[in-house]
Amino acid sequence: MEPGNASNLAQLRRGALEFCVLALLRDEERYGFDLVRALGEVDGLVTSEGTIYPLLARLRRDGLVDTVWRESDSGPPRRYYRLSPSGKRSLAAFAEDWIRFRDGVDRLLEVGR
Amino acid sequence: MTDPGVASYLDRLRAASRELPPSRREELVAEIRAHIDAASSARGADGPAAIRNILDRLGPPEEIAAAALSERHSHSAYPEPGPRHRGLSVRDLAAVLLLPFGGLIFLVGWFVGVVLLWTSEDWTVRHKVIGTLVLPFGVVFPLALGALPGPGQPAWLGASIFLALLAAPIISAGWLASRAHASRRPRELQWA
């Protein structure tokens, strides 16, 4: 791991990423590529798109998302993800903590200027 | 038709994820393959340049494999408090019951309890040592001793020692039950 600020930011990004996935699934179900494309629209959130798939596998294993296979118009069936009840609770808990954390850091950064 | 670039990319991914269980490895390869298919049909271009761009965005296969290996052992930073994270597994429960009472099953039960205790990942070595030493054979020792008449011993002293020896293995088992999984918690709280 590279030292310095880049690595600190990478650490934060990695911690927040799974909740960004859960947040994208809050209102609709999505399949893998669709999720990756939506995450890719957030600047600097994902560096290697392929690493999203192992993360999705863990969210499945931990029961934070449910999955269902659906036929697609073009090509083979796709695995769709949706938020499970436990994923919903996890997302709500994170969102609350995140807002407190973000506001606290923002306040300190403002003071420092 | 499989693009040669895609085939060699997937081969590298398969090689890099050798340490994953075979079913998990094939699932990962299938997911990445499905991503490449979806991405190339979404962009309406599957020429070599478009494919190269898709593979570049996916990142090095070695990095994906490394992520898959590290995700296998990590947990969400916000674990759902449920039977999987809290409470005793059946194995741990058996250990906690066999340590104090297993000795009553021809002494063998206690040995089974010790084996279950030491092979569990939910206790630290300190817990295991205390669980084993307090008391060997659990309640069998005080029960056998209590049955013996204490010569020249005041009745209250004998009764107190008997009760203390009887309580010790039960308290130590209860303590073990409350400490199970304690060794895992710090890892769940990590961000990375």
Closest CA to B38 of B24, B58, B22, B23: B58
Of A54, A76, A94, the CB nearest to B28: A54
Residue that terminates a domain, selected from B84, B100, B115: B84
- Spatial separation of the C-alpha atoms in residues B5 and B11, rounded to whole Å: 10
Q: Which two tokens stand for residue B73?
A: 């052992």
> Which of residues B64, B84, B104 is at a domain's end?
B84
Residue B186: the pLDDT is: 40
Q: Which residues of chain B have pLDDT under 70?
A: 1, 43-46, 76-87, 146-152, 181-192
- For B99, the domain range is 90-179
Residue B48 lies in a domain: yes
Residues 6+ apart with CB under 8 A from B93: B177
Q: How far is A99 from chain B (nearest CA, A)?
A: 15
Residue whose C-alpha is closest to residue A56's, from B95, B15, B76: B76
How buried is A104 (Cβ within 10 angstroms: 0-12 exposed, 13-18 middle, 19+ buried)? exposed
The verdict on B23 and B79 lying in the same domain is yes
Q: What is the mean pLDDT of each run of 10 residues along chain A (113 residues)?
A: 63 89 96 94 88 95 94 86 95 95 92 70
Distances (CA, A) of B166 to A2, A9, A112, B7, B139: 57, 56, 63, 67, 5
| Terminal Cα-to-Cα distance of chain A (whole angstroms) | 30
Whole-prediction pTM value?
0.60
Name the E strands within A1-113: 30-31, 65-70, 78-83
Quick one: B24 and B56 in the same domain? yes
The minimal CB distance from A50 to the residues B32, B38, B80 is found for B32
CB contact under 8 A, B34 and A76: yes
Report the distance separating Cα B31 and Cα B163, nearest Å: 62
> Would you call B15 helix, strand, or coil by DSSP?
helix
Domain ranges for chain A: 6-111
Question: Are residues B76 and A78, on separate chains, in Cβ contact within 8 Å?
Answer: no
List, as ranges, residues 24-83 from A with C-beta within 8 Å of B.
31-33, 36-37, 40, 47-51, 53-59, 62-64, 74-76, 78-79
- ipTM for the predicted complex comes to 0.87
Residue A15 to residue B192, Cβ atoms within 8 A: yes
Nearest to B31 among A32, A64, A89 (CB): A32
Look up the CATH architecture of domain A6-111: Orthogonal Bundle (1.10)
